[in-house]
Amino acid sequence: MDTTLRITSARAGSDFVARIEKVSGQKLLACYQCGKCSAGCPMAAYMDVLPNQIIRLAQLGMQEQLLAARSIWMCVSCLTCNSRCPKDIKIAEVIESLRMTALRDGQRNDHLNIMELSPEARAVLPPIATISAMRKLTS
């Protein structure tokens, strides 16, 4: 992602915003950017766009930046953000709806290829690891 971000409200009412709100069941405009979600996120260190920034970009309908973010594939739905949000926004649900938007585009935009792992690596993994990863990261 570019380090310079041009913010515009031109797409705030777009179909993309409406779809994210519908699929996640969340009201994005409730967020007042306190940053508690990012402060407690165990994956924040591995993210390019922090959870509170994801909500801001989603409010503004910045689809391309969101779907290209590494962050949406790093979130593991631990729900720490959800449980700490003072506005009761379920940030993990918003991130899941972004992942699913990317995975449902018909392009097999998968973010995990199990067959690329070595047979040794595959052999030690418990079924819950591989199944959950495939459910969250593949179409």
Partner 1 sequence: MGNENKPMKLVYYPGCTLKNQATNFDVSTVSSMAKLDVEVEEMAQWNCCGTVHALDSDNVMNRVAPITNLIRVKEANASEFMTSCAMCYNTLKRANIDVKQRADALETINDFLSLEKTKYEGDVDVLHLLEYLRDRVGFDKLAERVTKPLKGLRVACYYGCLLVRPKEVAFDDVENPMVMENLVRALGATPVDFSYKTECCGAYQTVDKPEVIAGRTDKIMGSAHEEQADLVVVSCPLCAFNLDFRQDDAKRLNPDFHNMPVLYFTQLMALAFGCDESALRFDLQHIDPLPALAARGLG
How far apart are alpha carbons 89 and 93 in whole angstroms?
9
Binding mask 37-56 for partner 1 (x = CB under 8 A): -----xx-xx----------
What's the token pair of residue 134? Answer: 């495939």
Nearest by Cα to 71 from 41, 96, 49, 101: 49
Question: Which residues within the stretch 8-37 sit at the binding site for partner 1 (CB under 8 A)?
Answer: 22-25
The minimum distance between CB 78 and partner 1, in angstroms, equals 4
Distance CA 22, CA 18 (A): 6
Place of tokens 């918003």: 94
Residue numbers 73-112 binding partner 1 by CB under 8 A: 74, 76-80, 82-83, 90, 92-93, 96-97, 100, 112
Q: How far is CA 136 from CA 3, 4, 21, 59, in A?
A: 28, 30, 19, 23
Name the minimum Å distance from CB 84 to partner 1.
Answer: 10
Chain contacts with partner 1 (rule: CB under 8 A): 22-25, 42-43, 45-46, 74, 76-80, 82-83, 90, 92-93, 96-97, 100, 112, 114, 116-117, 124-133, 135-137
